[in-house]
Structure 1
């Protein structure tokens, strides 16, 4: 078995940076699954048909999904909201 296969998801990787731990689904008080998934700008740019400058212009004008600040330096978009926006544009 390779060392990389036994490595915990939250241990340092080859570059010395800590990798992100895997997350399990969240559940509300009734036990119903709440699934929130966020994507960062790099991932978002792979699914939208425009440039980063256009993305931010659309966000500023209220014509695209507003991002969420997950921390001081991390901005992300809710994938369900992005998917709904894309589907509404396909239907139009």
Structure 2
């Protein structure tokens, strides 16, 4: 096998390293991957999945750059069932 320079290799991270960087539940990460909103994992071995570190860092930088707007609060007094009385 020819030896390459360190720049030729893609740095990958495993699940526990990803969880240290991105504190989201596994199901949330899986759903975001499915929708194309998070970098895709790939199988290194049959029971080992990894993520590309550069892609995850780029995703984090993009998330930091864009503000996330929260949903507006719902006025519970406008509910049709079980309205809150003043």
Q: TM-score, normalised by structure 2?
A: 0.66
**1:26 lines up with 2:8 in the alignment:** no
Provide closer, same or farther for how the CA distance between residues 38 and 53 of structure 1 changes in structure 2, counting only shifts above 3 A.
same
Which portions of structure 1, spanning 4 or more consecutive aligned residues, are displaced by more than 4 angstroms?
none
Structural RMSD (CA)? 1.8
Aligned residues: 64
**1:90 lines up with 2:64 in the alignment:** yes
Listed as ranges, the gaps of 5+ residues in structure 2 are 67-86
Listed as ranges, the gaps of 5+ residues in structure 1 are 1-24
Q: TM-score, normalised by structure 1?
A: 0.62
Identify which of structures 1 and 2 has the higher relative contact order when contacts are C-alpha pairs closer than 8 Å and 6+ apart: 2
Give SS of 1:58's match.
helix
Partner of 2:54: 80
CA distance in 1, matches of 2:4, 2:56: 20
Larger Rg: 2
Q: Which has the higher helix share?
A: 2
Deviation at 1:74, TM superposition (A): 1.1
Q: Please show how residues 66-77 of structure 1 align to structure 2 within 5 Å.
A: 66-77=40-51
